[in-house]
Amino acid sequence: MTSLATPTGIASGAAAPPRGGALRRAAPALLLYAAVRALGVLVLALWGLADGKGAHRLLSARWDSLWYARIAEQGYGHTLYLPGGKVHSDLAFFPLLPWLERALSAVLPLSVNDAGLVVSGVASLFAAWGIFAVGDRLYGRRAGVLLVVLWAALPVGVVQSMAYSESLFTALAAWSVYAVLSGRWVGAGVLAALAGLTRPVGAAVVAAVWITALVTLVRARRAGGPRPPLPRLLLGVALAPLGWLAYFAWVGVRTGSATGYLDVQGGWGNGFDGGLAFASFIGERLTGPAFAAGLGLLVGVALVLWLYWSGVRQGQPLPLLVCTGTVLLLALTAKGYFGSKPRLMMPAFGLLLPPAVALARLRTVRAVAVVSVLALASSAYGAFWLHGSGPP
């Protein structure tokens, strides 16, 4: 059971910011996280010895990481015109990661690709710390540690070690959710604004701040009890969407269209259609020779939805449910390259809380055995996945 005092999960008073004691408390989670990810990179490197593909290149200089590196080096303005009418513009990529890559490579003897690996590595540790902080606050230290290990051992967990923006975004999202839970509205707003400069799904973090703030105010008014600090809450609400809105507005000005960013995504073949394209994609496999793949996709979607419903029944607090639910909604209803959907759902770490709490109830030996098997399977799958032809 959660120990939080209010229906939304918001503490009545602001908690102290993370300090040395909080880092020591999170140390087991961070060490285990680093161990799981190191295992993944090791397996990737060993696989590469047999396949002739270096782990360093796979992690830092392929697919989206090349676009981020080009933006860091040259700024925006690169466009590819492909057969079939697709237009791939680098405006599809949000700026915070390439900004950090450029800044780091300017002060250290690193290429922008290697700077991307450093940013991703550091951000993944902060993401693990934020995920632990949320799990620990809600269900205790043991559940928090296991939540982090499960996140590290996701089948697509290797992306956390790539020069991609998922680790950076998850760190900002996790700490923003934690800030809301602890009543630090301004901090939540700032982190949400930064998340909105990282990925388009930054809207999920904005929604978590806004909806929770609204429900908190309504419930405080109806209950007639102590109200949240209104100036700080309103400031956090005002700050939250600024990063996301600023980039959308800048792309609109750059393209000369109010729907500029949506047009850019359309050029990539991306957009939102309520999940029709994804359903058609699964249906084609269920009615064709790739029946097993279609069935696997159907089971995977059902599992994700079941985990979300389990979180609702578990009594997860509102900001976590809103953030997780919005990430899932945006991922499952988008059209485009469907191979990226597992990666797009990676920030929805709230899905892993029900199994983390269940594992926390097991004896240590059994819990260790389960997560060890998952870590090995994740490492093998990650190596297999990155050595394939398509991007993650």
Where are the domains positioned within the chain?
21-341+351-386
Residue 9: per-residue pLDDT: 67
Nearest to 121 by CA among 145, 144, 152: 152
CA–CA distance, 53 with 45 (Å, rounded to integer): 8
In the predicted model, what is the mean pLDDT of residues 165-192? 97
**For residue 16, what is the DSSP state?**
P
Amino acid at 79: T
Residue 135 near residue 35, CB atoms below 8 Å? no
Residue 40 near residue 158, CB atoms below 8 Å? yes
Structure tokens at 340: 């990226």
The model's confidence at residue 236, banded by pLDDT at 50, 70 and 90, is very high
The model's confidence at residue 4, banded by pLDDT at 50, 70 and 90, is very low
Nearest to 348 by CA among 151, 145, 93: 151
Residues 6+ apart with CB under 8 A from 80: 87, 88, 89
Which tens digits make up the pLDDT trace of 106-161?
Answer: 999 999 999 999 999 999 999 999 999 999 999 999 999 999 999 999 999 999 99
Whole-prediction pTM: 0.94
CA–CA distance, 209 with 220 (Å, rounded to integer): 16
Strand partners, 87: 81
Greater pLDDT, 388 or 280: 280
Which tens digits make up the pLDDT trace of 303-322?
Answer: 999 999 999 999 999 999 99
CA–CA distance, 282 with 251 (Å, rounded to integer): 33
**For residue 316, what is the DSSP state?**
-
- The fraction of the chain above a pLDDT of 90, given in percent, is 82
Using alpha carbons only, what angle is made at residue 250 by residues 98 and 93, rounded to the nearest 5 degrees?
35
Residue 6: per-residue pLDDT: 52
In the predicted model, what is the mean pLDDT of residues 149-178? 97
Residue 17: per-residue pLDDT: 43
Q: Which residue has the tokens 């819990």?
A: 367
CA–CA distance, 197 with 203 (Å, rounded to integer): 10
Residue 174 near residue 130, CB atoms below 8 Å? yes
Half-sphere exposure of 305 (CA within 13 A, CB side): 8
Q: How far is CA 262 from CA 66, 68, 247, in A?
A: 22, 19, 12
pLDDT score of 13 more than 90: no
Question: What is the DSSP code string of 71-89?
Answer: HHHH-S--EEE-TTS-EEE
Crossing angle (nearest 10°) for helices 64-74 and 96-107: 60
